[in-house]
Amino acid sequence: MAKKRNGAASEKLSEIIVKGMQEKKANDIVVMDLRKVKNAVADFFVICSGNSDKQLDAIADSVDVEVYKALKENPWHSEGKSNKEWVLLDYIDVVVHVFRKDKREFFALERLWGDAEITEIEDKA
């Protein structure tokens, strides 16, 4: 099992993940700080939307590359790359969710984890 980071390290990882998402023009990026949420499964969720199968793949791959370049880390677990609706990359303390827009609205993680502190990242033009 991978080692748990401290809060500052998981915050830094979140920033690197956002950069990877922005590289591939992900939409509606939010960082959910779950550190004060009781029984949270991670310190942060970083969520974004993509418009196509190709973009979902590109975003997930870009996050992988940016995290590996910065921290020499691969996700502990990943899933969803074959169904192209919701790709999950699990870095233990930070969990990445790359959704197709319609699936993101359906699963509504932002509402489900409503106690989290949510930071919306402005889309890059």
Structure confidence at residue 4 as a pLDDT band (50, 70, 90): low
* pLDDT of res. 123: 78
**What pTM was estimated for this model as a whole?**
0.92
* Residue 107 within any structural domain of the chain: yes
Residue 125 lies in a domain: no
- What's the N-to-C CA distance of the chain in angstroms? 39
Q: What is the DSSP letter of 5?
A: P
Q: Is residue 110 part of a domain?
A: yes
Domain assignment present for 89: yes
Beta strand 94-100 pairing with 44-50: parallel
Could you give the CA distance from residue 80 to residue 69 in angstroms, rounded to a whole number? 23
Q: Is residue 123 part of a domain?
A: no
CATH of the domain at 42: 3.30.460.10
Q: 1 lies in a domain?
A: no
Domain that holds residue 16: 7-118
Confidence grade of residue 1 (pLDDT, cut at 50, 70, 90):
very low
In a domain, 50, yes or no: yes
Q: How many independent structural domains does the chain possess?
A: 1
E strand map for the chain: 27-33, 44-50, 77-79, 86-90, 94-100, 117-121
Sign of the CA dihedral running 95, 25, 61, 80: positive
Classify residue 31: in a domain, yes or no: yes
